[in-house]
Amino acid sequence: MTKLLNGKRILVTRPKLQAHNLISLIEQHSGQAIAFPTLEIVAIENSQVAKQRLENLKAYQWLIFISANAVNFAVTANNGKIRDFTQTKIAAVGKATAKALENAGLSVDLVPETGFNSEALLATTALQQVQNQRILIVRGVGGRETLAQELQKRGAIVDYWEVYQRKIPKTDTAPVVDLLTQQQLDWLTVTSTEALQNLITMLETEKNSLLNIPLVVISERIKQIAASIGFKTIVVSSSPDDTAILNTMIMLTNGEGQ
């Protein structure tokens, strides 16, 4: 017999355009998904920068994509001309990013076997010896600096191509505030540190209630930040994909993994 979510009310904080699959999975497994995006992902409208980066791609030995969003926004820059450059090696920070690259028609030369962050990518054999190599990191504005800093320590010349930015969405918080007041939220799901911080900002008046609700996150790093904020129950999913997040909540609903 398939184990279900037994009507649990689950807050989904993924950006609006990325939340459909998780919401659908929750509903298919007898849960109630409440969409409450705490991040909005928007393109950076700077065609001149995009043009310069695309014209100079041949100068780089590595093109590193930091997220599926980085892939999608880079591919749409200058009418998808990034597909014309196939001689530069392409690295993805994790399997979801690699899948986005493959869906865009780009070959992936490097993806970590395990893990889905900068540290996992830095641990790969291919990026150990990068002395004097030029590397272009494709990311959003204000991302982590760990990857670039370590590659520079190893002797690489690193540039950024920032193709999107994150914003706090203009969202009506009243329905979620009502659920919190009535103690009718069972789980929170958060997939990035910025989404977590925005969640606190958007629901600041209800912070104490929020901190008492079990939180499912996708990395130890997010767990540590959530703990420092004051969340009392934090569970880390085995991976960042929606199925893993769902399975984590199903196990907890059925009393497993506690």
pLDDT digits (tens, 9 = 90+) for 69-111: 899 888 887 665 665 556 789 999 988 899 999 988 888 999 9
Pair 146, 195 in one domain: no
pLDDT of residue 1: 39
pLDDT of residue 80: 58
Q: How far is residue 108's CA from residue 89's CA, in Å, rounded to a whole number?
A: 8
Pair 226, 140 in one domain: no
Q: How far is residue 214's CA from residue 231's CA, in Å, rounded to a whole number?
A: 8
Q: How far is residue 209's CA from residue 203's CA, in Å, rounded to a whole number?
A: 10
Pair 154, 66 in one domain: yes
Which residue's structure tokens are 């591919």?
75
Q: How far is residue 54's CA from residue 75's CA, in Å, rounded to a whole number?
A: 10
Final residue belonging to a domain, choices 119, 139, 166 = 166
Pair 55, 155 in one domain: yes
Classify residue 4: in a domain, yes or no: no
pLDDT of residue 33: 97
Classify residue 89: in a domain, yes or no: yes
Pair 162, 197 in one domain: no
Q: Which residue range is the domain that position 238 belongs to? A: 9-39+170-253
Pair 214, 179 in one domain: yes
pLDDT digits (tens, 9 = 90+) for 45-76: 766 777 777 778 888 999 999 998 899 888 88
64-76 b/e (C-beta count within 10 Å ≥ 16 → b): bbbbbbbbbbbbe
Final residue belonging to a domain, choices 166, 194, 224 = 166
Final residue belonging to a domain, choices 151, 166, 181 = 166
Q: How far is residue 241's CA from residue 107's CA, in Å, rounded to a whole number?
A: 21
Pair 51, 135 in one domain: yes
What CATH number does residue 226 fall under?
Answer: 3.40.50.10090
Could you say which residues of the chain have pLDDT below 70? Answer: 1-3, 46-47, 78-86, 256-258
Q: What domain count does the chain have?
A: 2
Pair 127, 213 in one domain: no
Q: Catalogue the long-range contacts made by 55-58 (C-beta closer than 8 Å, 24 or more residues apart).
A: 57/82, 57/85, 57/88, 57/136, 58/85, 58/87, 58/88
Q: Residue ranges of the alpha helices (H) in the chain?
A: 20-28, 47-55, 68-76, 95-103, 118-122, 146-153, 174-181, 193-202, 207-211, 220-229, 242-253
Pair 189, 81 in one domain: no
Pair 88, 175 in one domain: no
Pair 100, 201 in one domain: no
